[in-house]
Structure 1
Amino acid sequence: MSYLSPLLNRSGAVQAGGLDAGVAAHYGEPNREQRLLAGYLGKPGTAVVDLSHRGVVKVTGADRLSWLNTLSSQQVTSLPAHVGTELLLLTVQGRIEFDARVVDDGEGTWLIVERDEAQPLTQWLTSMKFMLRVEVADVSADWAVLGSVAEVPEWGQRLVWVDPWPKVGAGGYSYTAIAEESHPGFERPWREYLIPATELVDAIGTRPLAGVWAAEALRVAAWRPRRGAETDEKTIPHELDLLRTAVHMAKGCYKGQESVARVHNLGHPPRRLVFLQLDGSLHTLPAAGSEVVLDERVVGVVTSVAQHYEMGPIALALVKRSVDPDAVLSVNDDGEQYPANQEIIVATDAGQVVGRPSGFLRAPR
């Protein structure tokens, strides 16, 4: 049976679809919920978002961190307790298979993923145990996730994953052409709290709820890629600027490392993530998956769409690297055309860092 959150019983709740099926898209006031989540007039956000449809995988055992280090793109051998990071599991060709939010509590390592990836991830990790002291369990049925922009004081003892985005981590690399401090992601600090599923309703208390539409709008505005939305079977980390938070360029070997290094040092990612400011005069939004068009040529695809409470209709899209960064694009949704101004996320000349001046983009740390 598909998952349905108990919070869908709240007044006004409208269930989301797609990746977010099973939780509320909104509770009747999407714009107000977004403001309460983001915070406004200098006040921190007070709303929280039901993300209980997320998958949760727990890894225990003395070898857990060193083992995950050998498998993934991230350096986690010495990951301090309660410090959030992100890791990717890749194919030999460097394509993204899993993207996990990671936090360790000193006794176990928790991986937060999309719901339908928890079981496949558990099965794959279990197949890679060999003789190591690790145990892997899909605990999605026992644990729920709640998201917030601001810290929730009454949840101070709860385990929380703090999103490292957009700070360039140790061993990471920025593919944007803007100064790090100007990145819009800093306007969206993000936390995901792990709550026992039986305590989900009580944990909310009287705190206001925001639907996932609100969370998605803030994510898109922060240029934050999401597994299952910005990814397909061909996606490599470079295309989404994920080298900044999910890849350590100086760690030991892992599956896909050679491909990651080859594109980074000698080549260019074939596609690049862009932010689109959509024409709002149609009073509708194009669907994710709509074509991105330039001069009647299809040059990309819309991956995420949202209605932002300040900016209006916005989107993320993957386009060909060669697309003119100054061109006004058009989004085609079944014949309906939406003019779209693009804002560069991944630079058109990202990659090929061997021989580049040290100040190009952002040097590895």
Structure 2
Amino acid sequence: MTRLTRVPSSSLRLTGADRLDFAQGQMTGDIKRAPVPGMTPALFLNVRGQIEFFARVYRRQDDLYLHLDAGQADLLEARLRRYIIFDQVTVENLSDTLTTVHLWGEQAESALPGWDAAGPDVQEVRLDGLTLLAARVRRSGPGLDVHVLSREQDVLLSALQLEEASWDALQRARVQAGIPDAVADRFTGNLPQEVGLDFAVSYQKGCYVGQEIMARLEARGNARYHLAVLEGENLPSHTEVFVGERKVGSTGLSNGDRVLASLRKELEEGAAVQLGEVTARVRLGALV
């Protein structure tokens, strides 16, 4: 069964002749290698290599579209403007203009009329007079993010006729699938390698903020933490993890019996840890 969830989000648009070079020098993803239209996940790091923002950056013919979690666009916009000196780049906040819904389930792609299942990961789709930007995005498993003008959202929902599931339901499914989320799990401030978000880091591209730290970690592989799953009962969200009196990590969002954690690498499969008064077990092989 395919379900639809409205995604709390915000967004920015970059235009201008220097938009590609400017964005490339700010983010960990290699947007220059993306097709048109195309998308790459990316992080915006501080000089210590720690995560400040996660975005999905879409490359289109005339602009770059940065899709972020709710409340993030204003903060990233302020950061980007600090770095614009002589660059021909304009930053526009589209958070009130665009809306995103996520279609999820094994048949998600067939639920969007006009989507070519054999086609690229990012497509422009026309449906009932609407022009949509859609992309394969794994929020809990196979799924599509569909971006639409906010004023046309009701037309889209009416055309799709799908069962609507809450954002909380999608988050519970995400945690069950072992997929990290920088904002929902409160993993910002960590190194990408410590929280399973290094898939958004390109080690082949040129300089960007925090790149020196990423290159050093790639060469030495010495991050002390990694992403793991903890299982138990009534597990709390966003709490510290202990073995005895020693802190060994911190958790993200819990779905009750499962929670993602940034955990010390030396902890083995099945190890018992404490989350306050609750005991959990480490599951290293449970990630997808």
Per the alignment, residue 287 of structure 1 pairs with 236
User: Which residue does 1:260 correspond to in 2?
Assistant: 214
After the TM superposition, list the runs of 4 or more consecutive aligned residues in structure 1 that deviate by more than 3 angstroms: 229-234, 295-298
Check if 1:341 corresponds to 2:285.
no
SS state of the match for residue 81, structure 2?
A: helix
| Sequence identity (%) | 24
Q: Is the 8 A contact 1:327 1:341 kept in 2?
A: yes
TM superposition score normalised by structure 2 = 0.83
- Are 2:142 and 1:189 aligned? yes
**For 2:272, which of 328, 343, 347 is the aligned residue?**
328
Number of residue-to-residue matches in the alignment? 266
Partner of 1:153: 112
Residue 94 (structure 2) aligned to one of 139, 144, 148 = 139
Superposition deviation, residue 296 in structure 1? 5.2
What's the TM-score once normalised by structure 1's chain length? 0.67
Paired letter, 1:290: T
- Cα displacement string for residues 36-94 of structure 1 (whole angstroms, at most 9, x for unaligned residues): xxx3xxxxx2x11011x311111122322222112211111232123221111111111
In structure 1, distance between residues paired with 2:86 and 2:286 = 41
Q: For 1:342, what is the secondary structure of its paired residue?
A: strand
Structure 2: runs of 5 or more not aligned? 115-124, 127-131
Give the one of 24, 30, 33 matched to 1:69: 24
| 1-structure distance, mates of 2:225, 2:286 | 9
Mark the CA change 1:129 to 1:162 in structure 2 (over 3 Å): closer, same or farther.
farther
Q: Extract unaligned runs of 5+ from structure 1.
A: 1-38, 40-44, 166-184, 280-284, 308-312, 348-365
Point out the more displaced range, 231-240 or 82-91.
Answer: 231-240
Matches within 5 A, 1:169-318: 188-205=141-158, 206-232=161-187, 234-244=189-199, 246-279=200-233, 285-295=234-244, 297-306=246-255, 313-318=257-262
Tell me, in whole angstroms, the C-alpha distance in 2 between the residues paired with 1:98 and 1:295: 33
The equivalent of 1:89 in structure 2 is: 44
**Partner of residue 116, structure 1:** 71
> For the Cα contact (< 8 Å) 1:92–1:256, is it kept in 2?
yes
Quick one: distance in 2 between partners of 1:227 and 1:73? 14
What SS is found at the alignment partner of 2:218? Answer: helix
**Cα offset for 1:121?**
0.9
CA contact (8 A) 2:178 2:286 kept: no
What RMSD, in angstroms, separates the aligned Cα atoms of the two structures?
A: 2.4
Contact 1:272 1:345 in 2 (8 A): no
* Aligned-partner Cα distance in 2 for 1:345–1:250: 28
